[in-house]
Copies of this chain bind each other. A is one copy, B any other.
Amino acid sequence: MKLIDGKAVSDQVKKEIAAEVAKMLAEGKRAPHLAAVLVGHDGGSETYVANKIKACEVCGFKSSLIRYESDVTEEELLSCIDKLNNDDTVDGFIVQLPLPKHIDEQKIVEAIDYRKDVDGFHPVNVGRACIGLPSFLSATPAGILELIKRYEIPTAGKHVVIIGRSNIVGKPLANLLMRKDYPGNATVTVVHSYSTDIKEQCLKADIIVCALGRPHFLTADMVKEGATVIDVGTTRVPSTETKSGFKLTGDVKFDEVAPNCTFITPVPGGVGPMTIVSLMKNTLLAGSKAIY
């Protein structure tokens, strides 16, 4: 069994990005600039955005944080997005989700110029990724592809079972893993809450991606000998063992599943650290105008 070290890979990718930025600066170009819009003071969102800003520093990017209180109107937010769309000094930006209920998230996502949509949530980027055209890939699927690549895990002709059909993980990952590329060329099955054959499907899988957000869902009796297991789950489970009072828990019963695997990602330290790195890669692509 080999542990997939997402932390180590993410550090390595950030170093590679920093080297690219150093090259850009040496050529007289400016560093890529990521702006983040944060509404309200949700603990999770604060942490995510802080980590993104920190990652920008490591990569040598310029970053900006734009804060709004949670009573911001949709109109104000749209006008902020309009400004960022038209600000030539900003290469890419994100609006941290979730937003307060009085704001239409989809409207906000679609208001972002797709050429600056480094989260990859705009329909143009979703559609282009689906068709197989260059685009900003959304963070988690892109992070998983990067891990597969770095660990040289074969995917062509392999059976991949993805548990979960969300718009930000399951569906886009399925599209990416069936495309004519590496990672890709896989037989892809997506199972979800309506599926009656999850165990049967998983037992045949060469690669299982767990992205349903139910702690310890995948047990040893669902995984065939030698499979690769990628755990996207990060549920906060109450715990007396940690200072914070909770423990980040994956969708995989790691202790019993791991011994049978060829590769497996831990939680934390697996897919998690890769998501911010995907955002950094998109920002580099935006800064160097590599896609649009």
Contact A194 B130 (CB under 8 A): no
- B-contact bits for A167-198, CB 8 A (1 contact / 0 none): 10011101100110000011111111011110
Q: Please name all residues of chain B whose beta carbon is closer than 8 Å to the beta carbon of A194 when the two chains form the complex.
A: 156-157, 185-187
Q: How many positions in chain A have a CB within 8 Å of any CB in the partner chain?
A: 39
Q: Smallest CB-CB separation from A109: which chain B residue?
A: B131
Q: Which of A15-23, A119-127, A246-254, A255-263 lines the interface with chain B?
A: A119-127
Question: Does A133 touch B at the CB level, under 8 Å?
Answer: yes
Q: Please name all residues of chain B whose beta carbon is closer than 8 Å to the beta carbon of A186 when the two chains form the complex.
A: 194
Question: Does A85 touch B at the CB level, under 8 Å?
Answer: no
Partner of A188, one of B125, B127, B157, B189: B189
Contact A171 B165 (CB under 8 A): no
Name, among A122, A131, A191, the residue most crowded by chain B CB atoms within 10 Å (CB to CB). Answer: A131
Q: Which residues of A contact B (CB under 8 A)?
A: 106, 122-128, 130-133, 156-157, 159, 165, 167, 170-172, 174-175, 178-179, 185-192, 194-197, 200-201, 204
